[in-house]
A and B are shown apart, each in its own frame.
Chain A
């Protein structure tokens, strides 16, 4: 396990010194680093669910959207301080996970995917039409930056380190949860729910806790998004962004927690570079997606296992 620790430490140190070693720090720290951390946390909420329950949810942007809109509306329209609005927003986003989870967890596979997507699209339509509350398609602009202990997070580097801190804590929390007896029971539900039931487990509460935890992660990501983009509009929670998120998770490796961040970094950097070469960057991202999946069906994080499997096969054949 020490090797793993060395790897985590290396990644963390790289992330900490990144703002000082990158050229064009104004751009790369914000549009590369901060953006990847925000997308990474959103994707983490999706990977956590997929890895531990085997459920792919497209509803994460619903929770992000609920939290994001609450922060945006309360601070811009009602001048509520972030100290109040942010915890409230995260609480509301997390609690909405209870309702959605209660409905969605009764389904599986493609039905679960469709149901969670429907919820996201429902929020999209509501935000688009509820002019009085959400300002419709225009969305809410000029969302102020948080100031914590005199530190103004409108600046690029403080926001990056704030996001890095959040990402590290949430990642560690996921890792920790997976090691608890709760986490192990979850894996049991994922692999064979019927057997867990016959062993005397009540599986619904287990699934519910995992789902609500993932909506908690998504709500935090929603608040991060509001602070990074400084705007929220229906398209922040629409179909296209949901698919973007799915691409990040799958490219990074849907069964690895770290895959969320690897995918987010790859997509953030790729999108930033490709713009200089072609206007058809959406298509280019699609091609990248196909190429990654052809060469590494388990995503980038799955390359290790893939190589291992191939070697084992080779040695097996030669033996």
Chain B
């Protein structure tokens, strides 16, 4: 029995040792003269490819002020998430309760964003700045006073697309095919709102599960008497759909969701040419031909960092720059529960690389949206041609589900 006693002690020892190690590494109370920013980024899982682009945007914004505000050093504490709400909540709690951050910057994905926006009510002393999460309900449903989003939601990313489809391109009847989750719901909802208001009708809708590998039955089921098809698919799903659309000779023009015809899809080697040519789409990132002094400067900064404009780098930069501009405006003063800082953020206005930004009463940004068309680059590849910059696109009050008819967006 002696051996048993010793080894029991060993177990307690191991556990106590681990505990003690944890307590020792707990950081000391906040050093004067620093501003701690906790940074949630979904570097694990489905967005691991895009996540580093947000960091690039953040770093460009930090470099512009040399990571210092009124003599106070800005310290970034990064935590990795996997785009699930549960892990985002755990990491946020860790950054706030253990690391005692002043500001929480993140998260990346929409569903994480909703969870964090709700969590922010529990921590009124911390200011939350969303990075790229674009679910509508984070700001338009029971908005939190200390949660800010310096870009549009997924419905805003369709701002102006519906109007152009109806008025300029003359599409009267449209069928929807889109992935079955919240982002395409909002994205399609934004399109349908403008399109139906202009006078168009949604005649049918298909909602295949995310990650579908065979769209033949959906394509076959699309009605023949439509003028165009709205395709709210992205990534590998978009490539697969477009490939099959070519195979089955789908002759209808396409209207893309925000991620149907982005660079990764257009750059794929698949035979999608006939399907994507002339497709129109909208989103927060300008097309290749766009040029303003702010945007050209930003493009050069991105190039120096080894990348280019995309949803993550653009929104990451705009969000970070807004967060830091607020700090600069109050000279790093976060006293009085950050009251002065939040006041500045709620009324922030500046010319971002992607157009003028202002804030609405729910602390969601009013921004510009870019509508473009896919054209041939004359060398067998694709290019995008700018159709319109729709300014002052504000968030609506709806949280969209599946949009099957115009009645769903009324």
Interface of A with B (CB < 8 Å)?
A: 3, 7, 22-24, 26-28, 30-32, 35, 129, 131-132, 136-139, 141-142, 154, 229-231, 233, 235-236, 240-241, 262, 265-266, 269-270, 272-273, 275-276, 279, 281-282, 300-301, 303-304, 306-308, 311
What's the Cα separation between A132 and B185 when bound, in Å?
13
Tell me whether B270 is interfacial, beta carbon within 8 Å. Answer: no
Asked if B114 and A141 make an inter-chain contact with CB atoms under 8 angstroms apart, the answer reads yes
CB distance from A249 to the nearest CB of B (A): 16
Q: By the criterion CB–CB under 8 Å, are B180 and A269 in contact?
A: no
From B1, B23, B82, B111, A22 is in contact (CB under 8 Å) with: B23
What residues on A are CB-neighbors of B180 within 8 Å? Answer: 129, 131
Taking CB atoms, residues of chain B closer than 8 Å to A142 are 118, 121, 142
Tell me which of B9-17, B193-201, B284-292 binds A. B9-17
Report Cα–Cα, A11/B142, bound state, in Å: 43
CB distance from A209 to the nearest CB of B (A): 31
A270 to B25, CA, bound (A): 12
Decide yes or no: A276 and B182 within 8 Å by CB, A230-B89, A265-B15, A304-B7 being known contacts.
Answer: no
**A24 in contact with B14 given A233-B85, A304-B4 (CB within 8 Å):** no
Q: Please tell me if the beta carbons of B79 and A229 are within 8 angstroms of each other in the complex.
A: no
Tell me the chain B residues, 86-125 only, with Cβ under 8 Å from chain A. 86-87, 89-91, 93-94, 97-98, 110-111, 114-115, 118-119, 121-122
12 A–B contact pairs at CB < 8 A?
Answer: A24-B23, A27-B97, A31-B98, A136-B182, A231-B118, A233-B85, A241-B86, A265-B15, A265-B19, A273-B21, A300-B11, A307-B6
A141-B118, A272-B22 given; A30·B93 CB < 8 A: yes
- Do the beta carbons of A139 and B25 come within 8 Å of each other? no
* B26:A3 contact, CB within 8 angstroms: no
**Closest Cβ–Cβ distance, residue A127 to chain B (whole Å):** 12
- Determine the distance from Cα of A134 to Cα of B10 in the docked complex, in whole angstroms: 46
Please give 14 more A-B residue pairs, beta carbons under 8 A apart, in addition to A141-B114, A240-B82. A22-B23, A27-B93, A28-B22, A129-B180, A131-B401, A137-B111, A139-B111, A265-B15, A265-B18, A269-B22, A270-B18, A275-B79, A303-B7, A304-B8
CB-contact partner of A31 in B3, B78, B94, B111, under 8 A? B94
Q: A235 vs B122: C-alpha distance in the bound complex, in angstroms?
A: 23
Return chain B residues, CB-CB under 8 Å to A311. 3
Q: Are B26 and A24 in contact (CB under 8 A)?
A: yes
Q: Which residues of B come within 8 Å of A, CB atoms?
A: 1, 3-8, 10-11, 14-15, 18-19, 21-23, 25-26, 43-44, 78-80, 82, 84-87, 89-91, 93-94, 97-98, 110-111, 114-115, 118-119, 121-122, 135, 137, 142, 180-182, 209, 401-402
Distance in Å: Cβ of B330 to nearest Cβ of chain A: 26
Q: How far is the CB of B48 from chain A (nearest CB, A)?
A: 11
With A3-B5, A139-B115 known as contacts, the answer to whether A27 contacts B19 (CB < 8 A) is: no
Known A27-B94, A27-B98, A265-B15: A138·B10 in contact at CB below 8 Å: no
Going nearest first, the 10 A-B pairs with the smallest beta carbon separation are: A235-B84, A304-B7, A27-B98, A27-B97, A307-B7, A141-B118, A142-B118, A26-B97, A138-B111, A273-B22
Contact A23 B23, beta carbon cutoff 8 Å:
yes
Overall SS of chain A's interface: helix
Residues of B within 8 A of A262 (CB): 11, 15
Contacts of B94 in A (CB 8 A): 27, 31, 272, 275
Residues of A within 8 A of B26 (CB): 23-24, 27-28
Contact A235 B85 (CB under 8 A): yes
Closest to B109 in A: A137
- How distant is A57 from chain B, measured CB to nearest CB, in Å? 21
Of the candidates A23, A231, A269, the one whose C-beta lies within 8 Å of that of B85 is A231
- How distant is A181 from chain B, measured CB to nearest CB, in Å? 27
Greatest chain A CB density within 10 A among B10, B84, B135, B402 is at: B84
Q: Would B11 and A141 count as touching, CB distance under 8 A?
A: no
Instruction: Find out whether the CB atom of A138 lies under 8 angstroms from the CB atom of B114.
Output: yes
Q: In whole angstroms, how far apart are the Cα atoms of A241 and B85 in the complex?
A: 13
Query: With A136-B181, A138-B135, A233-B85 in contact, do A307 and B115 touch (Cβ < 8 Å)?
Result: no
